[in-house]
Amino acid sequence: MAAEKISSRAQDYSQWYLDIVNRAGLAENSDVRGCMVIKPHGYAIWERIQGALDKMFKDTGHVNAYFPIFIPKSFLAKEEQMAEGFAKECAVITHYRLKAIPGKGVEVDPEAKLDEELIVRPTSETIIWNTYKNWIQSYRDLPLLINQWANVVRWEMRTRLFLRTAEFLWQEGHTAHSTQSEAEEETHKMLEVYREFAEEWMAMPVLTGTKSEGQKFPGAVYTLCIEAMMQDRKALQAGTSHFLGQNFAKAFNVQFQSREGKLEYAWATSWGVSTRLIGGLIMTHSDDQGLVVPPRLAPIHVVICPIGKTPDEQKATGDVADKLAADLLALPRDAFYGYDTLTVKVDRDFDKSPGFRFNEWELKGVPVRVEIGPKDLASSACVLARRDQPGKEGKQMGVPLAEAATRIDSLLREIQKKLFEKAKAFRDTNMHRIDSYEEFKKKIESPGGFFLAHWDGTRETEDKIAEETKATIRCIPFNLPKEEGRCMVTGNPSKQRVVFAKSY
Amino acid sequence: MAAEKISSRAQDYSQWYLDIVNRAGLAENSDVRGCMVIKPHGYAIWERIQGALDKMFKDTGHVNAYFPIFIPKSFLAKEEQMAEGFAKECAVITHYRLKAIPGKGVEVDPEAKLDEELIVRPTSETIIWNTYKNWIQSYRDLPLLINQWANVVRWEMRTRLFLRTAEFLWQEGHTAHSTQSEAEEETHKMLEVYREFAEEWMAMPVLTGTKSEGQKFPGAVYTLCIEAMMQDRKALQAGTSHFLGQNFAKAFNVQFQSREGKLEYAWATSWGVSTRLIGGLIMTHSDDQGLVVPPRLAPIHVVICPIGKTPDEQKATGDVADKLAADLLALPRDAFYGYDTLTVKVDRDFDKSPGFRFNEWELKGVPVRVEIGPKDLASSACVLARRDQPGKEGKQMGVPLAEAATRIDSLLREIQKKLFEKAKAFRDTNMHRIDSYEEFKKKIESPGGFFLAHWDGTRETEDKIAEETKATIRCIPFNLPKEEGRCMVTGNPSKQRVVFAKSY
């Protein structure tokens, strides 16, 4: 049973991505159009993402709650931008009953038609602000800092596992504040939570910035975002944080009595990240051997492979593997591992060849593999193989078993750091300042990347560039050097360079 | 701002329940028919429930995954019992697009009609077994031990917060096995997980047993259940575990090559508990002062209330409160707390009277309250108040601050134990053997309770009793003394007593 190799990134990037999703057991398309099945290994990564983010949300004062999956059609209409932005991709419930026809299956019962259609939430601002109306009377009820973990549905026409699916899992924060400045501060604070999570947990460097008018969230005053570069040099919008002003408070009449006794509309933010992050994780770190997962998000940190041909050898190396696993579990809980114990797997699949077993664990992206054969045992040692450097260069031979647990702990931290540095170097190498639109049109095709260019700030120019090159403004960045100049298309004045790229 | 008292259990049980759900901030009805909003305090209890159960599932070898929320209508029809059981309560998606009509809201786009309607999952056997078809080829692929945390929708006509809602949150386990005996073992194993969780975490005693044919899950060969007694002496079905035989494997053609090389249909189980458990938690322990949460599931284990009139007093008692909170957080992680740290809240709301503050925390069900006033401080002591014994009898005065943390830790364990014992005593007191149907018809009305009666095993008799008394067979119990006898209605022979009760 020789494993089929996955496609190489260089030859067929799209197929490489799908091969990894498939072969690492992350997800698959279901028989329901556009909806994916998240398989156990993929879901385990999502659980690690949830665990880390949930703690960060709670540490910044947020609590979780749960709101209905259905939204009356009329709610959507109350906020005009939202209606326009989401109407075209809504799943609509029109009936609440089927009837079973014996021998003929089931049919929709025409008698059970809803008076008002319901939509499956594409996002929950409307249903939540309709609820907040009853929760907010006084400035004492504010701020309201609530997050929801949920599934949402957007009827996308072209779907791609994790990156764009009809149903996806996400979290959506929805906060209400008594002042504009407090709401704006929250919008920035949560973007910073996303940046920290992306960089310190996912080891995925991101640019932070503001979306242009053309790219902002329907219903927002402005949208902040984190943008990452994938290995094909395209951009992935990995998280957004929206300042909603008083738009939803006005649409749902959410007023409160201020400290001064005046009736005022509440100020809102919303912010979210989704299972799309798993797509970003794959495309930031993985290689032609398969998935690479940064240690802090790895469902399995360490796999230990005892090796042996005879039952005696298998018992001897297996026992040592168990002992090492126990040593690893006894390492102190630490923030690096989310204050949890390490997850260690002992692979006793002696029926398969060592090479086959190593390949399978490389495919699944386990950060550190330990190999223990009879020869290693003779010298009370083992071999450590790091996933981020497949092949011989990533192997440490003859590691004394007595030191192995602490060496592995250091190695995991080292891998986390190196993955970030490597991804950042790649991103920085492929980010270019550019001043000529002609040159831009060529370079955006090949080699591609992030292009820092001057733009005159108009929707018209933004649309023209998108039409002609398929590149969009990914963000107006916060932390790149500010510099005035002239728009690469119109020559009109520009206050700073913005980031153009093709994107997912 | 005097707090309105909640209704008393004795005077109006239904209103008492709703008052607690409302005043403890657990949930509320939304503007979407039958769908609830789970508020932060209610959701925090659900998170504790999830955390404990999820660990128990993983410790028994299960992994999580996620399957689509939508199910093609035709899938439901493939398993006949399921079609009949769920068709009447399905939310049906017929369209995938709205269109915004400027100035007039949104309308369903008639051009965007689905070829085949989708239903929102009422349970996921069909979509999951349709997926398993591709995952199961050989006995080596089995067992498949998968759980899903998800929302489901059943269009119930009469709804009640937590107990019966159109949308609810739950977990559903779906396992596939190569032999009947292994699948049956799994069915029993997961029922035992539910029993252990109900009794050891929720402090809610349960009967375990088999459902009668009339009460089993549509599509199951048989259904096992845990049944708890609420304070109005009605039964609550708190969890079910189904042996599905080969019904779904046959409906979705899931065959595997056995060790002997034969093609066989896989054997299935499914099992689930839902946010309904929160309703059970409320009705098992709460009292006329409000919610009572067993410590192992409490979102806040301890609230510390410093008391003081002057800023100096407030600072002094507040500092001591912070010190005690730190002591509590430094207690060793322990299985009792789910290997997590304690959750401690310091309530510095000095603007409100101590009595008001104490009432609010009693309403919310925090197991232990610590009161620290200037007089306590003078003797380096504090007052511990246990929620399960409101009023003076539950107060320990003059507890030395140096011992407070360890005393509180013991007290939490003591409360957990006492809550279970109290609930069990209540259940046992209200469980009666009965042989006369006339007497049964009276007693089921008043005082109510669980009635152990002989039944002839026929659907006809079961239906007659249900029609005449509204009581149903809650289970054919596993662990009550077996004894032959004669059916209380027909006089026909019976092999053992079964449990009758009115139920939620």
pLDDT single digits (tens) A445-499: 999 999 999 999 999 999 999 999 999 999 999 998 889 999 999 999 999 999 9
Instruction: State CA B331 to chain mean position distance.
Output: 29
Residue B80 maps to a domain: yes
The A167-177 sheet, strands edge to edge = A63-64, A144-153, A167-177, A267-274, A235-245, A222-229, A207-210, A472-477, A497-501, A450-454, A431-433
Residue that is last in its domain, among B227, B253, B285 = B285
Domain span at B354? 296-426
Residue A372 maps to a domain: yes
CA nearest to B130 within chain A: A31
Same domain, B32 and B157: yes
Residue that is last in its domain, among B252, B285, B318 = B285
Q: Please tell me the predicted confidence (pLDDT) of residue A481.
A: 86
User: Cβ atoms within 10 A of the Cβ of A419, count?
Assistant: 23
pLDDT single digits (tens) B345-370: 999 999 999 999 999 999 999 999 99
Residue B315 maps to a domain: yes
Q: Do the beta carbons of residue A244 and residue A268 sit within 8 Å?
A: yes
Instruction: Give the pLDDT band (50/70/90) at residue A1.
Output: very low
Partner-chain contact A99 B87, CB within 8 Å: yes
In this prediction, residues A409-438 reach a mean pLDDT of 98
Which amino acid makes up residue B308?
G
Partner-chain contact B93 A63, CB within 8 Å: no
Does the pLDDT value for residue A2 go beyond 70? Answer: no
H/E element holding B320? helix B311-329
Instruction: Give the pLDDT band (50/70/90) at residue B4.
Output: confident
Residue B291 maps to a domain: no
Instruction: Give the pLDDT band (50/70/90) at residue B83.
Output: confident
Partner-chain contact B31 A130, CB within 8 Å: yes
Same domain, B401 and B450: no
Same domain, B22 and B66: yes
Residue B139 maps to a domain: yes
Does residue A99 sit at the B interface (CB-CB below 8 Å)?
yes
In this prediction, residues B76-89 reach a mean pLDDT of 90
Q: Please tell me the predicted confidence (pLDDT) of residue B1.
A: 39
Same domain, A58 and A145: yes
Q: What is the pTM of this model?
A: 0.97
Partner-chain contact B108 A99, CB within 8 Å: no
CA dihedral B425, B430, B434, B440 (to 10 degrees): -170
Same domain, B169 and B79: yes
Same domain, A320 and A275: no
pLDDT single digits (tens) B89-124: 999 999 999 998 877 789 999 999 999 999 999 999
Same domain, A257 and A310: no
In this prediction, residues B186-202 reach a mean pLDDT of 98
Does the pLDDT value for residue B2 go beyond 50? Answer: no
Instruction: Give the pLDDT band (50/70/90) at residue A3.
Output: low
Share of chain B above pLDDT 70, in %: 99
pLDDT single digits (tens) A228-262: 999 999 999 999 999 999 999 999 999 999 999 99
ipTM, two decimals: 0.97
Same domain, A278 and A367: no
Same domain, A184 and A62: yes
Which CATH number covers residue A481? 3.30.110.30
On chain B, the residues whose CB falls within 8 A of the CB of A119 are 98
Q: How far is A107 from chain B (nearest CA, A)?
A: 8
Question: Under 8 Å CB-to-CB from A499, ≥6 apart: which residues?
Answer: A207, A209, A227, A235, A431, A450, A451, A452, A473, A474, A475, A476, A477
Residue A113 maps to a domain: no
Same domain, B364 and B451: no
- Closest Cβ–Cβ partner in B64, B96, B151 for A69: B151
How far is A183 from B93, CA to CA, in rounded Å? 37
Which CATH number covers residue B35? 3.30.930.10
Partner-chain contact A90 B97, CB within 8 Å: yes
How far is B450 from B474, CA to CA, in rounded Å? 9
Q: Which of A39, A54, A66 to mutate to test the interface with B (most CBs of B within 10 A)?
A: A66
Residue A417 maps to a domain: no
How many Cα atoms within 13 Å fall on the side-chain side of residue B236? Answer: 27
Partner-chain contact B95 A92, CB within 8 Å: yes
Higher pLDDT, B500 or A85: B500
Same domain, B312 and B250: no
Q: Please tell me the predicted confidence (pLDDT) of residue B3.
A: 56
Partner-chain contact A92 B90, CB within 8 Å: no
- Closest Cβ–Cβ partner in A40, A46, A94 for B63: A40
In this prediction, residues B148-154 reach a mean pLDDT of 98
Partner-chain contact A35 B65, CB within 8 Å: no
- Closest Cβ–Cβ partner in A40, A99, A120 for B65: A40
Residue that is last in its domain, among A236, A251, A285 = A285
Instruction: Give the pLDDT band (50/70/90) at residue A101.
Output: confident
Q: Which of B66, B81, B99 to mutate to test the interface with A (most CBs of A within 10 A)?
A: B66
Does the pLDDT value for residue A197 go beyond 70? Answer: yes
Residue B7 maps to a domain: no
Same domain, A259 and A403: no
Domain count, chain B: 3
